[in-house]
Structure 1
Amino acid sequence: MFNPRPTVRYVAIAGHAPCVVVDDFLLDPRALVAQAAAAQARFAVDPANYYPGPELDLGRETALRLDEFFIQHIRRALGAQRTISVVARLALATLSPPELHPLQRLCHRDCTDLAPGTGAAAAVVYLFDDARMGGTSFYRPTQGSEHTVRVLRAAHAGIASDAHAGGYLSASNADFEQLCTIPAQFNRAIFYDGEIFHAAQIEDAALLHPDPARGRLTMNGFFRLRKRSA
């Protein structure tokens, strides 16, 4: 399923572990796009994770194969010793700016309530041809931890600040500084520390489409891990 001889490169993220970029990630990416299109009716929105569109779980076998790739090629760069749990999903961003919840107008982290010595990592595989639908950007808070917590709590409660009144976050603002952007490319995978604030770099939401064969389709992986001792 995954390229057994990948070319791996690293993009620095100031103050954090690098983003690991792997091009030509899947051996047959078009087959996965076709699978997504055939299963479009089974995609569903999960309100618990605030993804801006429907998702489809890819099952345990795919998740374990993704974890095998992570263990062999990625984990050392992200400071992981072993994987505690992993899931893999297809995801399709579809919401227009007026439909976004305030949390979906912010960057976010893929972790909550991490126990000491544990961490999180994530993967995104771009499965669309039109790179204008956007890659992934990484951010850092600019106003200190207490202010950031207040901003996130207000957004969770459905309150949007003036700084986040527009659509998808795609540039620095008063609360978050954009550190770098990884452009989308068909069959490109990125792996990154889930504790880094990040957001899909969607600058033109009019390009989004509900058809998996035409829209911003991605394969997303989420890892809980035991961190390597210093």
Structure 2
Amino acid sequence: MTYQIQAFGHEREPVIVIDDFSGHLSGLVSAGRAARYERANGYPGIRSAIDPKSYVGHCMQSSILARAVKKEFGAGQIRFESCAFSIVTLQPDELSPDQRIPHFDEAQSNVVAFVHYLDTAPDCGTAFYRHRRTGFETVTPERLDEYFAARQEDETEHGPPPLAYHTKNTPRYDRLGTVAAAPDRLIAYRGRQLHSGDIMTPPPLKNVQAEGRLTVTGFLLLA
């Protein structure tokens, strides 16, 4: 198994793309559809925690994901911070202001986010962005104060963000590129990158657990 690297914008942060990651997609989809879910803080939907050992935790040190992360991000050791089935459920008019703009997960460089696409719409994916006012494509500890001050200036100039999932260029952010979803495709990227899920089609109003955008999401810690 091999992987690809995509890089966007000026900062060229690597995004690891691994196709046919698990080799047992149908089993993961069945487990994800049958799982017990709870509302998740910050995430526009519901999540169900997974024991990493039942996912890929037992082979992290030898798997393609481990090899790719070690090479591309310069890690010696890798461990799971979290891992969960995730389903987008919120309608556009239910989103909080922070859920209507790109976000970063963690400013520290040793946090890598991953998204494993299981069962999604064909126009789904993950897009990466540049904040126009600052020019930042990543938010590092040194940039935090400037970034959040600039976001306040955005609010003063432009008002609240539209009641919609963020999927295109706006007065606040430039879209740099996207990695399209595909069944059993996993992507991994530093949590400091500004990104947003490409939710082109709102979640179904009914049977969302059975039909909504199903992924595994989580974080790796590097040492």
Q: TM-score range by the shorter chain?
A: 0.7 to 0.9
Q: Tell me which residue corresponds to 1:187.
A: 184
22, 27, 30: which one pairs with 1:26?
A: 22
Aligned counterparts of 2:131 and 2:222: Cα–Cα separation in 1: 24
Once the two structures are superposed, residues 23-57 of structure 1 have per-residue CA deviations (whole angstroms, 9 ceiling, x without a partner) of 11111111111112222xx200122xx00000011
Report how far residue 147 of structure 1 moved. 5.9
Q: Secondary structure at the match of 1:131?
A: coil
Provide the TM-score with structure 1 as the length reference.
0.80
Q: 2:113 aligns with which of 119, 122, 125?
A: 122
What TM-score do the two structures reach when normalised by structure 2?
0.82
The equivalences for 1:62-211 within 5 A come to: 62=55, 64-65=57-58, 67-68=60-61, 69=63, 70-83=65-78, 85-112=80-107, 114=108, 118-132=109-123, 134-144=124-134, 148-150=147-149, 162=159, 164-206=161-203, 210-211=207-208
Q: Which amino acid in structure 1 is aligned with residue 181 of structure 2? A: A
CA distance in 2, matches of 1:25, 1:85: 17
1:66 CA drift (Å): 6.7
- The one-letter amino acid paired with 2:115 is V
Structure-2 change in CA distance of 1:204 and 1:90 (3 Å): same
Q: Is the partner of 1:107 in helix, strand or coil? A: coil
Q: How many Å apart are 1:203 and its aligned residue?
A: 1.7
| Number of residue pairs matched by the alignment | 210
% identical aligned pairs: 26
Q: 1:147 to 1:168 in 2, by over 3 A?
A: farther
Q: Is the 2:133–2:172 Cα contact (8 Å) retained in structure 1?
A: yes
Alignment partners' CA distance in 1, 2:205 and 2:8: 28
Pair 142,22 (structure 1): closer, same or farther in 2 beyond 3 Å: same
Is contact 1:121–1:222 with CA below 8 Å preserved after alignment?
yes
**Map of 1:3 onto structure 2:** none
Aligned with 1:205: secondary structure? Answer: coil
Matched, 1:56 2:48: yes
Asked if the contact 1:209–1:216 (Cα under 8 Å) also holds between the matched residues in 2, the reply is: no
Rounded Cα–Cα distance in structure 2 between residues aligned with 1:210 and 1:148: 39
| CA–CA separation in structure 2 for the residues paired with 1:72 and 1:9 | 12
What is the SS of the residue equivalent to 1:80?
A: coil
Q: Secondary structure at the match of 1:56?
A: strand
Q: CA deviation at 1:163?
A: 6.0
Q: 1:153 to 1:127 in 2, by over 3 A?
A: farther
Alpha-carbon distance in structure 2 between the residues aligned to 1:225 and 1:51? 23
Moved more, 69-78 or 102-111: 69-78
* Aligned-partner SS, 1:196: coil
Contiguous gaps of at least 5 residues in structure 1: 1-5
* Of 218, 222, 225, the match for 2:222: 225
**How far apart in 1 are the matches of 2:219 and 2:197?**
15
Match of 2:139 in 1: none
Dislocated runs of 4+, deviation >4 Å: 151-155, 206-210
Q: Is the 8 Å Cα contact of residues 107 and 198 (structure 1) preserved in structure 2?
A: yes
Deviation at 1:177, TM superposition (A): 1.3
Task: Provide the aligned C-alpha RMSD in A.
Answer: 2.8
